[in-house]
Chain A
Amino acid sequence: MVEEMSRKPYVREITSEWIFRHPRYVRYMVREFSCLFIGGWTLLMVWGLKQLAEGPAAWAAFLECLKSPASIAFHVLALGFAAYHSITWFKLTPKALPLQLGEEFVPDGAISGAHFGAWAALSLAVLYFAGAF
């Protein structure tokens, strides 16, 4: 109905050049692209589960595949993007989980700081449990 009445409908131009208009847009896109690495690494692990289910030889072949230069490059990038996603996620926690104690709001730094502390503790615990050191 409305469309029929409009003689010169405004069609907004669709481009992706807006990304480069401001550094903050570039940072936003870098964070969004972390999904390709987190999703890709998870699918790699699904394949790892298949190999683990098939037995010791298949699992050894999976570990051998991980050692290829392409895999090492992917892992380094995935680690960087995953860590960047974590940092941006925890920096946003004061906005997502504002906490009020009595009259005062808990300072932003305390909320995100608690998340960063928990992240570090959990990461160290996983490394210890996995026997990485």
Chain B
Amino acid sequence: MAISNKPIVWGPFAAGGTLTAFLTPVLVLLTLLAALGHAPELLAYDRLHALASHWFAKLAIAGTVFLSLWSAAHRLRITCYDLGVRADTLVATVVYTVALAGTAASVLYLTRI
């Protein structure tokens, strides 16, 4: 049987696509409200810090960051190919590295909260 790493790359992409479809618009709406000067109560420092202090919230935030970044990275890789960029190995290395670095950074910041 041929060995392929496609499922490893594609699994988090599909999971991230589903998660971002359900969650991202409403979360962007929350930060848009903050940008317009009507920050929802949740974005007050005390409340958000208290929420992010819980281990389960940390896990959920890190998981959401990973899946969102990974699915965006994978989609960007495919889009580059569609647009005629044929240096796929280079593109894949760059986009997945950014996704993993962003996840690692969020884990680091969460441990400091």
Residues of A within 8 A of B (CB): 14-16, 29, 32-36, 38-39, 41-46, 49-50, 52-53, 56, 59-60, 63, 66-67, 71-72, 75-76, 78-79, 82-83, 85-86, 89-90, 118-119, 122-123, 126-127, 129-132
Structural contact, B41 and A39, CB atoms closer than 8 A: no
The count of chain B contact residues (Cβ–Cβ below 8 Å) is: 52
A-B pairs under 8 A by CB, number: 148
Chain B contacts for A122, CB-based, 8 A: 22-23, 26
Interface of A is mostly: helix
Structural contact, A42 and B72, CB atoms closer than 8 A: yes
Chain B contacts for A14, CB-based, 8 A: 84, 86
Structural contact, A89 and B18, CB atoms closer than 8 A: yes
Structural contact, B65 and A46, CB atoms closer than 8 A: yes
Q: How far is the CA of A102 from the CA of B110 in the complex (A)?
A: 48
Interface residues in B8-66 (C-beta closer than 8 Å to A) = 17-18, 20-37, 39-43, 45, 48-49, 52, 61, 65
Residues of B within 8 A of A (CB): 17-18, 20-37, 39-43, 45, 48-49, 52, 61, 65, 68-69, 71-73, 75-76, 78-79, 82-84, 86, 99, 102, 105-106, 109-110, 112-113
| Given known contacts A16-B84, A78-B28, A35 and B76 CB-to-CB distance under 8 angstroms | yes
Structural contact, A130 and B42, CB atoms closer than 8 A: yes
A-B contact pairs, 7 of them (CB 8 A): A29-B82, A35-B71, A38-B72, A45-B27, A46-B106, A78-B28, A86-B24
Chain B contacts for A71, CB-based, 8 A: 35
Structural contact, A79 and B32, CB atoms closer than 8 A: yes
Minimum C-beta distance from A49 to chain B (A): 4
Minimum C-beta distance from A1 to chain B (A): 20
